[in-house]
Amino acid sequence: MKLKIKKLDERAIIPTYGTEYSAGADLYNMGGETVSVAPGETVLIHTGLSIEIPEGYCGLIFARSGLATKRGLAPANKVGVVDSDYRGEWMVALHNHSDKTATVEGGERVAQMVVVPYLKAEFELTDELSETERGAGGFGSTGRK
């Protein structure tokens, strides 16, 4: 799949895959922009890019495991969803879950994006749903005996 990418700033870095089999492409803090994130703070990290996602697909923005586990920095909304009709700048709302101020350097990888197909649901109101063995059990109910 080829995605059209527009640089909104000359310092923007095109996403890259870490290995041949990586599912997620790394998104970068726009080059030259060092950002400090205080404990408990959320900041918008600019990528300087606009990306055209094809109809029937969306871009999902996930944390980079190393950044999240070693420095406590992860997307504030846990998983960002970029719709196929969005044409603005891709930004990452990065939240500092640690108790120390963290610095994100210009050109540093801040998140990863995965492009996935989706199904559009049509919602039909009903008075009854089909029965299942699980029923209405939720929040850990499948592990109980």
Q: Which residues of 94-127 are buried (b: 16+ CB within 10 A; e: fewer)?
A: bbbeeeeebebeeebbbbbbebeeeeeeeeeeee
Mean pLDDT confidence for 25-48: 94
Alpha carbons 3 and 54: distance in angstroms, whole number: 8
Contact (Cβ atoms closer than 8 angstroms) between residue 92 and residue 61: yes
pLDDT at 145 over 60: no
Topology of domain 4-119 in CATH is: Deoxyuridine 5'-Triphosphate Nucleotidohydrolase; Chain A (2.70.40)
Mean pLDDT confidence for 129-145: 79
Quick one: which of 122, 24, 21, 20 has its CA closest to 65? 24
Does residue 31 or residue 49 have the better pLDDT?
49
pLDDT at 144 over 70: no
* pLDDT score at 129: 93
Alpha carbons 36 and 80: distance in angstroms, whole number: 21
* pLDDT score at 136: 84
Q: Model pTM?
A: 0.88
Structure-token pair, residue 109: 């990888």
Quick one: which of 112, 110, 111 has its CA closest to 34? 110
